């Protein structure tokens, strides 16, 4: 697991996210009004994407607050995974917006509309400044949070979309090329969809209790098996508790004649897992070699067929 996390004071981080929400909501309103007045679908498309950023930041803000709640009887692992759920909501929303924009662009190809190029360029220019400012507010936090990273990537896409809209407005002013408006809309929608599908996979993997993608599962099992006094490991469950923490549950078979060392062997296993893979949460069920599980599977529990890693 990565060790280079960036830590920011929670209250300072909250202030950054709140400021980003405020400027994005203001920009969204300005873009929608400008898009309606100018008749630009591309500007409205950029506004919808920007609005999704504002919503994602609101969700991120709430998720950050909830994630800091202490563990309790109902959530014994704590509330940290709420940020992963927030990221899933944000990416799913982006996918829906991208598909809607493709539909609207198709309608414009069939019936091109007159567009006010000057107004497009002015509003998109303002949007570009706001997008860059918002991205700067969330950049540092995005390095250590899948939730904030989703919001940050939205703003990067917005900045690129604003550049594209400026280009469209300029071409409309110079050449009255109306089709550039839906063409730019398709480009914005395509980028939104590409970005969302690329980022949603790791989020789903965490929620599906998948193993960390940067750690070889078989390597973890081999490392445990290599600890002196261990003759087997089975019924293993290896998953991500959240974006930064992995957990391992497993049955460990202790070599015959060394049961008196079982506790010491268990501590050596925990040390290996912590030092080598940064796995701090482990639950190990020890079995003596004479009474180990019959025909155990590497993964899962009793009654489960072995699954290849």
Q: Are 211 and 240 in contact (CB under 8 A)?
A: yes
Range 279-297 burial, b when 16+ CB lie within 10 A, else e: beebebeebeeeebeeebb
From the list 174, 192, 169, the residue with the least C-alpha distance to 31 is 169
Length reported for the chain = 309
173 vs 155: CA distance, rounded Å:
27
Domains and CATH numbers, the chain: 10-207 (1.20.1510.10), 217-291 (3.30.70.1350)
Task: Supply the pLDDT for residue 3.
Answer: 38
pLDDT along the chain (309 residues), means of 10: 44 74 79 79 70 77 84 86 86 85 84 69 79 76 72 72 78 79 83 86 92 92 94 92 88 92 95 94 90 81 48
Token digits of residue 199: 């980022």
Per DSSP bridges, beta strands 246-254 and 281-288 are parallel
150 vs 91: CA distance, rounded Å:
7
């Amino acid at each position: 697991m990565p060790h280079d996390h960036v830590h920011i004071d929670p209250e300072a981080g909250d202030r950054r996210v709140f400021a980003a929400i405020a400027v994005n909501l203001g920009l969204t309103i300005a873009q929608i009004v400008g898009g309606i007045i100018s008749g630009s679908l591309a500007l409205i498309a950029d506004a919808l994407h920007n609005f999704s950023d504002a919503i994602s930041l609101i969700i991120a803000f709430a998720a950050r607050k909830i994630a800091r709640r202490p563990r309790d009887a109902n959530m014994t692992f704590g509330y940290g995974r709420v940020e992963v759920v927030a990221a899933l909501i944000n990416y799913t929303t982006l996918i829906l917006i991208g598909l809607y924009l493709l539909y609207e662009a198709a309608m414009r190809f069939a019936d091109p509309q007159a567009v006010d190029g000057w107004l497009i360029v002015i509003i998109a220019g303002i949007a570009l400044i706001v997008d860059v400012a918002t991205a700067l507010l969330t950049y540092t936090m995005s390095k250590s949070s899948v939730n904030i990273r989703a919001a940050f990537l939205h703003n990067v896409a917005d900045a690129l979309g604003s550049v594209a809209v400026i280009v469209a407005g300029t071409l409309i002013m110079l050449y009255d090329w109306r089709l550039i408006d839906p063409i730019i809309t398709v480009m914005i929608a395509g980028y939104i969809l590409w970005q969302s599908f690329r980022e949603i996979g790791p989020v789903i993997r965490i929620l599906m209790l998948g193993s960390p993608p940067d750690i070889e599962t078989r390597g973890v099992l081999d490392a445990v098996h290599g600890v002196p006094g261990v003759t087997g490991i089975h019924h293993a469950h290896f998953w991500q508790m959240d974006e930064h923490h992995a957990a391992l549950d497993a049955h460990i078979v202790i070599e015959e004649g060394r049961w008196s060392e079982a506790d010491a062997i268990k501590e050596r296993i925990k040390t290996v897992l912590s030092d080598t893979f940064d796995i701090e949460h482990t639950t190990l069920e020890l079995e003596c070699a004479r009474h180990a599980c019959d025909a155990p599977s590497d993964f899962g529990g009793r009654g489960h067929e072995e699954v290849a890693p």
